[in-house]
Amino acid sequence: DIQMTQSPSSLSASLRGKVTITCKASQDINKYIAWYQHKPGKGPRLLIHYTSTLQPGIPLRFSGSGSGRDYSFSISSLEPEDIATYYCLQYDNLYTFGGGTKLEIK
Amino acid sequence: EVQLQQSGPDLVKPGASVKISCKASGYSFTGYYMHWVKQSHGKSLEWIGRVNPNKGGTSYNQKFKDKAILTVDKSSSTAYMELRSLTSEDSAVYFCARSYYDQGAMDYWGQGTSVTVSS
């Protein structure tokens, strides 16, 4: 099974600041990684798939990059509505989620 | 508008079974795979498995192959997940989510169904 190590587990950032989250896979996942935003009481929201492809309607301040085993997700200018928990998901071989990153405002 | 509407919360006794539903609307139900994901309290997400609503084929996470049964009713565009022999470890929120491809990222999710296992 593929393991996904996501860091950090929690993050405090300033409004309009930049945020970066990383995920490291236990093996090459061929860029098949997605990033989700999850708020309490709702289902996760798909932001990015295939490493860097933004879902329609997702603001351009969200971005993703990486290859092989190492991937990152960034928010270029943090907005109040971005407060949530973020998860990576590998879907190269079945499905494995990262442990999540809880994002808070500093 | 794509919507996945899940059934309400359940309180069930240890050893019993529970069946959660996920009613799809706003798209062709048989054109997308339906997945189920578990979120234990305060923890991350675990993929349980997925069902092909068109042909009924299933794929499971080995961890859940004896726990979950995934089915669909095409006539009502509804997917179901039955969880059996429940223990406290099964207390969690369960989500349904669709994907276009067999091995694709899930793009729309239900709101989640809380299952509490308690005597």
- Contact check, Cβ <8 Å, A87/B95: no
Look up residue B64 and give its two tokens: 């859940």
* Whether A43 and B109 lie within 8 Å, measured CB to CB: yes
Residue A30's region, left for phi above 0, alpha for psi from -120 to 50, else beta, is left
Distance from CA of B85 to the nearest CA of A (A): 24
pLDDT tens digits along A86-104: 999 999 999 999 999 999 9
Instruction: Output the pLDDT for position B42.
Output: 79
Residue A31 vs residues A68, A72, B72, B85: alpha-carbon distances, Å:
7, 11, 31, 38
Half-sphere exposure of A76 (CA within 13 A, CB side): 6
**Per-residue model confidence as pLDDT tens digits over A53-70:** 999 999 999 999 999 999
Residue A48 pLDDT: 98
pLDDT band at B83 (very low <50, low <70, confident <90, very high): very high
Averaged over B103-110, what is the pLDDT? Answer: 95
Average pLDDT over residues B54-74: 96
Smallest Cα distance from A42 to chain B, Å: 5
> Does residue B101 have a pLDDT over 90?
no
pLDDT confidence tier of residue B1, bands split at 50, 70 and 90? very high
With bands split at pLDDT 50, 70 and 90, how would you rate the model's confidence at B103? confident
Instruction: Determine contact, residues B40/B52, Cβ cutoff 8 Å.
Output: no
- Give the rounded percent of residues in chain B with a pLDDT score beyond 70: 100
Name the closest residue on chain B to residue A54, using Cα atoms: B107
Both tokens assigned to B48: 């349980």
Interchain pair A91, B35: CB under 8 A:
no
Instruction: Measure CB to CB from residue A91 to each of B4, B59, B103 and give the nearest one.
Output: B103
Q: What is the mean pLDDT of chain B?
A: 96
Q: Are B118 and B11 in contact (CB under 8 A)?
A: yes
